[in-house]
Amino acid sequence: MISNLRPNSIVMTMLLLNLLFDVLNLPLVFAAGIDQFVYSGFAGANITIDGVATVHPNGLLDLTNAHARLKGHAFYPAPLRFRESPNGTVKAFAVSFVFAIHPNYRSSQGMAFFIAKSMDFSSALPFQYFGVFNSENQGNSSNHIFAVELDTVINMELRDMDANHVGIDINGAISNQSHAAGFYDDKTGFFNNLNLTSGEGLQLWIDYGGESARINVTMSPVGMARPATPLLSAIYDLSFSTVLTEEAYLGFGSAAGMDGSGHYILGWSFGMDRPAPAIDISKLPKLPRVGPKPRSKVPEIVSPVATAAFVLAVGITAFLLVRRHRRYAEVQEDWEVEFGPHRFSYKDLYYATQGFKSDNLLGVGGFGKVYKGVLPKSKLEIAVKRVSHDSRQGMKEFVAEVVSIGRLQHSNLVQLLGYCRRKGQLFLVYEYMPNGSLDKYLYHQDNTRLPTLNWTQRFRIIRGVASGLLYLHEEWEKVVIHRDVKASNVLLDGEMNARLGDFGLSRLYDHGIDPQSTHVVGTIGYLAPELACTGKVTPFVDVFAFGIFILEVVCGQRPIEQDIREEKPMLVDRVLEHWHNESFIEIVDSKLAGDYDVNEVYLALKVGLLCSHPFMDARPTMRQVIQYLESARASPELTPIHNTFEMLAVMQREGFDPYIMSYHSSIAASIVSAGR
């Protein structure tokens, strides 16, 4: 079934094979370093697998084995020599494989073939990026990975064209070239679509030209002759020092979606400096059937002893189940079936957080407590937010929204992984952010010995939050308004990238889940004035809060002093005064010790003030904000109205209620005391 030839294999084998190929009239010339292999099924094959990957007894290589949120890889066991010297030209090579993706899993993330510098993919995300990249190393030229992705979800951040495409990837999941899956008909020249997740076998060919640096990718349904016109044909020199290493590993990767997965490889072949050997289609393993399982016949019970043992076993199991049921009881209603994949079991969360032990408490917020946990199977680190709720009203809508929010993916957002419900409690499961929330760095509370962030880090955080917000506002299929942008909702990942958390959560209030709270959605100090007047929620509400956030990060001061007896003007007013008398340097965080780029600080303060403009219409959109921050476009001058006292006067003249409008002054303190 398998002919698996390696370089330096004994001369005898080579001679024999040469003879064999001569008989078959195949032009094969053996020279040093030429490799080829072919697997027509993987039963008993020497391949290296990791993660949840497995080979079924019938020889089907299954990368994700019906798991959810786990990754798997399969490799040719030895590295192959792609260049003769570290800077030598990468040789021509050809790959062919037959694969299938099971259609039952809607969030299946697809899979990728790759050539990589090592077999270590431990840092790849288990639920995204084909189990090959993570959000930090994605696009990094030190990855040395060439991949062809078979992508079955649409991810705006990766500039995906659709949820059914093939792409050529160099060092990251943003494709250099991609095309909807399919083939060009040899006779008519018309393009025919193919469905990656149909559950049917598909064959793919990858050819690299060596000197020509041309990469061709061709696909067809299994069994059809190879189409003459490639699906993708790109020029990309894999000899660039950033791509293939002298020796590299070949393999496949896949990350299971939120609701399980089935990514199969049926056959695989490779040729260095020659075409990939033909895969014997007739020997390929059978695919699991698509659709409901046929009912299995109940086996006849053989003897009365076995019957007695069986009854006893059932009794004990039932007893244990009842006991277990009590401990891990959950609330699950019929309508939730649809969201099943995004539901975590209470048991898993209970184990992950060691029974919600106080040692694992990360913090307490307006909604409830947040615990750190490690999922038992995948070892994925998570943060679990436990929210108490009394009302069942609106729960369905809320869960639907949670699931929809879970589909948002961006490197500056904290990924929401799923939820769980229990009597009176709702659990939201997020990616864990090892470096905690930004407010801890700015104010050094809890006697933590956290470092002071320097200006470079702060400016990067500001830009990161801006691009996360732009994604929410403009780049996803729906407009998502965060409504609670603030320093404690900006989390820092292992590489100190800013990740915005808690987006969409403000809807909890709308669904009556936080009955004891009387406060307006959002947080005092970050609330746009029009919210108090009209209650109208637009993306500019977030722009306002983002402006206050910038001022906070630059000045290292809270928007409103927490001690409300001391009547200190709000941060934005203090910044304005300094801005107008041209002493803005005085308000910059003294912890920076003057070590910053004055132009950037000036730009940041100006954008902060523009965004926190009391008039909604005067605020920029997040897209403009990003342009200003990247200095691609000169930011407009601040309008003179941006002075609280003048503004109040204007507003009174226009008939606004002066009490409500006094949000910008110390009267806000009275709202603070009425809040949480």
Ligand X SMILES: *[C@@H]1O[C@H](CO)[C@@H](O)[C@H](O)[C@H]1NC(C)=O
Ligand Y SMILES: Nc1ncnc2c1ncn2[C@@H]1O[C@H](COP(=O)(O)OP(=O)(O)OP(=O)(O)O)[C@@H](O)[C@H]1O
Residue 491 touches which of Mg ion, ligand X, ligand Y, none (Cβ within 5-8 Å per kind): ligand Y
In the complex with Mg ion, which residue's Cβ is closer, 134 or 353? 353
Angle at which helices 598-611 and 539-555 cross, to 10°: 150
| Cα(524)–Cα(672) distance, integer angstroms | 6
Residue with Cβ nearer ligand X (9 or 345): 9
Work out how close the CB of 230 gets to ligand X at its nearest, in angstroms, rounded to a whole number. 5
Residue 77 as a binder of ligand X (CB under 6 A): the answer is yes
The reply on whether position 489 binds Mg ion by CB under 5 A is: yes
Among 54, 195, 239, 621, binds ligand X (CB under 6 A): 195
Residue linked to tokens 């007695």: 308
Which of 259, 336, 348, 502 touches Mg ion by CB under 5 A?
Answer: 502
Query: H or E element: which one contains 544?
Result: helix 539-555
Q: Which two tokens stand for residue 333?
A: 């209603």
> In terms of CB distance, is 490 or 661 closer to Mg ion?
490
Q: Does residue number 204 form part of the binding site for ligand Y (CB under 6 A)?
A: no
- Check 484, 493, 502, 589 and give the catalytic one: 484
Q: State which residue, 367 or 371, has the beta carbon closest to ligand X.
A: 371
CA–CA separation, 342 and 259 (whole Å): 7
Q: Which of 363, 394, 512, 569 binds ligand Y (CB under 6 A)?
A: 363
Choice between 239 and 425, CB closer to ligand Y: 425
Q: Which of 367, 398, 526, 584 binds ligand Y (CB under 6 A)?
A: 367
Contact 244, 88 (CB under 8 A): no
Query: Which candidate, 560, 578, 594, 582, places its Cα nearest to that of 670?
Result: 560
Contact status, residue 254 vs residue 263, Cβ threshold 8 Å: yes
Binding of ligand X by 46 (CB under 6 A)? yes
Binding mask 348-367 for Mg ion (x = CB under 5 A): -----------------x--
Q: Which is nearer to ligand X, 455 or 509 (CB)?
A: 455
Contacts 24+ apart (CB under 8 A), 369-378: 372/432, 373/349, 373/432, 375/69, 375/348, 376/348, 376/351, 376/352, 377/67, 377/70, 377/348, 378/69, 378/70, 378/126
Q: Considering the complex, state which of residue 516 and residue 599 has its C-beta at the smaller distance from ligand Y.
A: 516
283 vs 369, which CB is nearer to Mg ion? 369
- 484 is annotated as an active-site residue: yes
Binding of ligand X by 209 (CB under 6 A) = yes
Residue at 32: amino acid letter: A
* Strand ranges of the sheet holding 425-431, from the earlier edge strand across to the other edge: 361-364, 368-374, 381-388, 425-431, 416-422
**Contact call for residues 236 and 213 (beta carbons, < 8 A):** yes
Q: Residues 370-384, buried b or exposed e (16+ Cβ, 10 A)?
A: bbbbebeebebebbb
Q: Which residue is nearest to ligand Y (CB)?
A: 365
Residues 79-108 vs ligand X: string with x where CB under 6 A? -------xx---------------x-----
Read off the tokens for 644: 């609280």
- Which residue in the set 434, 515, 658, 675 belongs to the binding site for ligand X (CB under 6 A)? 434
Number of H helices, E strands in the chain: 15, 26
String marking each residue 422-451 x if it binds ligand Y according to CB under 6 A: --------x-xx--xx--------------
Of the residues 454, 631, 639, 670, which one makes contact with ligand X according to CB under 6 A: 454
Q: Footprint of ligand X on residues 110-149 (CB under 6 A)?
A: 137, 140, 142
- Cβ of residue 7: shortest distance to Mg ion, in angstroms? 56
Using rule CB under 6 A, residue 581 touches ligand X: yes
Concatenating the DSSP letter of every residue in 178-217 gives EEESEEE-TTT--EEE--TTSSS-EEEEEEE-GGG-EEEE
The verdict on 524 binding ligand Y (CB under 6 A) reads no
Q: How far is the CB of 658 from ligand X (least distance, A)?
A: 23
Q: Which is nearest to 128 in space by CA: 102, 149, 145? A: 149
Residues 6 or more apart from 525 whose CB is under 8 A from it? 486, 548, 558, 559, 560, 570, 571, 668
Instruction: Answer yes or no whether residue 365 interacts with ligand Y by CB under 6 A.
Output: yes
Pick from 370, 403, 498, 545: which binds ligand Y (CB under 6 A)? 370
CB 607 within 8 A of CB 629: yes
Smallest separation, CB 489 to Mg ion (Å): 4
Rounded-to-integer distance, Cα 474 and Cα 621, Å: 10
Contacts of 477 (CB under 8 A, 6+ apart): none
Instruction: Measure the CA dihedral 43/44/48/50, to 10°.
Output: 60
Q: Which residues bind Mg ion (CB under 5 A)?
A: 365, 489, 502
The catalytic site residues sit at: 484
Give me the residues that bind ligand X (CB under 6 A), please: 6, 46, 77-78, 86-87, 103, 137, 140, 142, 164, 176, 195, 197-198, 207-209, 214, 216, 229-230, 233, 236, 241, 434-435, 451, 454, 456-457, 494, 577-578, 581, 583
> Contact positions toward ligand Y, by CB under 6 A?
362-367, 370, 383, 385, 414, 430, 432-433, 436-437, 484, 488-489, 491, 501-502, 523
